[in-house]
Amino acid sequence: MTTIRQMLANKRDVHTIDPDATVFEALRRMEEKNVGALLVMKGEVLEGIFSERDYARRMILRGRTSKETPVREVMTSDVFVITPDTTSGECMVHTTDRHIRHLPVVEAGRVVGEISIGDVVRSVIDDLRFTVRQLEGYIKSGG
């Protein structure tokens, strides 16, 4: 099964925002980068994650304004992280069980990447396709 380290080899960008930035700035960056979440970083330290879900639940429903609210007030601070040695299958379980879509990748206390549920699904599908091809080859060869 594919590991996150292998997935990160093809994925370079980690999109971040400072916790003191406004929600409006975060939304603008998310739109520019076409992503659904930003890692909230103070220097090299992961402080949280800000997602479209955070915006909908903690801004709109509470009547806050995005140009005046700092990201730190509405971000998810209890962030579930994975390591580069985590497999795509394990990530599928975590994202499903925890109802999350973005997983920061941390190694030796340092953020080294980010994986989305879309990345995980693509990887699991690729792994399954490989297995099917292997089984078809085995069957055609007469076992």
Burial of 119 (0-12, 13-18, 19+ CB in 10 A): buried
Report how far residue 106's alpha carbon sits from residue 84's, in angstroms, rounded to the nearest whole number: 7
12: phi > 0 → left, psi -120 to 50 → alpha, else beta; which? alpha
pLDDT at 54: 93
Structure tokens at 141: 């060869």
**What predicted TM-score, i.e. pTM, was given to this entire model?**
0.86
Write phi, then psi, for 81 (nearest 5 degrees).
Answer: -120, 160
Encode the chain (143 residues) as per-residue pLDDT tens digits: 889 999 998 877 899 999 999 999 999 999 999 999 999 999 999 999 999 999 988 988 888 899 999 999 999 999 999 999 999 999 999 999 999 999 999 999 999 999 999 999 988 898 888 888 889 988 988 76
State the pLDDT at residue 51: 96
> Which residues partner with 104 through β-bridges?
114
d(CA 85, CA 67): 39
Q: What pLDDT sits at residue 8?
A: 92
- Which domains, ranges and CATH numbers included, belong to the chain? 4-140 (3.10.580.10)
> In the prediction, which pLDDT does 93 show?
94
Q: Which element (helix H / strand E) includes 116?
A: strand 110-116
How many angstroms separate the CA atoms of 49 and 37, rounded? 7
